């Protein structure tokens, strides 16, 4: 089995990679920083005694996503599991000031994610097998003034994955949406919250377990499903007055 990890410098992505490598699976670690991807791959190869390859990937390089997937399969064989872990929260204030900043957030989190998922799905369709894990966010469940460019892009990715799952189900391909709450990474660094924050390792174990069970959707930490149920139930007239 060969596992493709996109956004390999993310601590969550690395922890997921460790879970699969510990089970003896080959891994391809792709990141914008190719030297870092190769360094992580060398570490995984030694640590778990598996084939591990590092290579370049940019979510914004839409024109080359098909070629990228072909190169991955040349290097490690048919992709059996693909993890879409990259993401960029951006800066909400900068995005309000300059739409170019908003567009980058939308393009990384949605357009780039959908583009590479299509390329992966095409490869998996040839074999009628495979599993795609897309990391989305609870931020995509309701628009908030503090992060609505990121939230709307993740919300679009969530809907995209839902449709892709619906389309690929009959062809034997599994698509899982991961709706993460707070996980301790550089994305949440310095954030103050009373809500418990999960470790990347905890998130990774839950993700791999859910993928192996063929689940469609995973909230992690799981209590976020309840929190979002409450947040989504707040009437818009009240919600727009809240500072969330």
Interacting residues toward ligand NAP by CB under 6 A = 7, 9-12, 31-33, 57-60, 85-88, 108, 135, 137, 180, 182-183, 185-188
- Nearer Cβ to ligand NAP, position 137 or 177? 137
Cβ of residue 17: shortest distance to ligand NAP, in angstroms? 12
In sequence order, what DSSP letters do the residues of 165-199 get, joined into one string? HHHHGGGTEEEEEEEE--BSSTTTTT---SS--B-
Cβ of residue 241: shortest distance to ligand NAP, in angstroms? 25
Cβ of residue 180: shortest distance to ligand NAP, in angstroms? 4
Residue whose C-beta lies closest to ligand NAP: 87
Distance CA 4, CA 145 (A): 34
- Nearer Cβ to ligand NAP, position 94 or 125? 94
Cβ of residue 114: shortest distance to ligand NAP, in angstroms? 13
Give phi and psi for 95, each to the nearest 5: -70, -30
- Nearer Cβ to ligand NAP, position 9 or 241? 9
Cβ of residue 134: shortest distance to ligand NAP, in angstroms? 9
Cα dist from 166 to 81, 123, 176, 219, whole Å: 18, 17, 11, 19
Q: In what order do the strands lie in the sheet with 2-6?
A: 52-56, 26-31, 2-6, 79-84, 130-137, 173-180, 217-220
Cα radius of gyration (the chain): 18
- Nearer Cβ to ligand NAP, position 33 or 98? 33
- Nearer Cβ to ligand NAP, position 15 or 170? 15
Q: Which token pair is 124?
A: 């998996």
- Nearer Cβ to ligand NAP, position 50 or 59? 59
Cβ of residue 42: shortest distance to ligand NAP, in angstroms? 17
């Amino acid at each position: 089995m060969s596992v493709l990890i996109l956004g390999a410098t993310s601590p969550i992505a690395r922890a997921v990679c460790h879970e699969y490598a510990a089970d003896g699976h080959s891994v391809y670690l792709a990141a914008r920083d190719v030297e870092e991807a190769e360094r992580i791959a060398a570490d995984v190869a030694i640590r778990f005694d598996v084939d591990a390859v590092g290579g370049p990937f940019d979510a914004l390089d839409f024109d080359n996503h098909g070629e990228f997937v072909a190169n991955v399969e040349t290097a490690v064989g048919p992709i059996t599991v693909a993890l879409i872990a990259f993401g960029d929260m951006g800066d909400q204030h900068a995005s309000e000031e300059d739409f170019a900043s908003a567009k980058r957030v939308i393009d990384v989190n949605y357009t780039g994610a959908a583009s590479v998922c299509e390329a992966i799905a095409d490869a998996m369709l040839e074999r009628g097998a495979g599993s795609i894990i897309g990391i989305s966010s609870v931020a995509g469940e309701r628009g908030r003034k503090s992060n609505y460019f990121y939230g709307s892009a993740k919300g679009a990715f969530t809907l995209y994955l839902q449709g892709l799952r619906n389309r690929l189900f009959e062809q034997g391909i599994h698509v899982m949406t991961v709706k993460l709450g707070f996980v301790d990474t550089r994305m949440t660094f310095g954030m103050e919250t009373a809500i418990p924050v999960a470790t990347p390792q905890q998130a990774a174990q839950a993700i791999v377990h859910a993928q192996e069970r063929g689940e469609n959707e995973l909230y992690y930490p799981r209590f976020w499903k309840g929190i979002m149920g409450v947040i989504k139930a707040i009437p818009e007239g009240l919600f727009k007055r809240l500072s969330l």
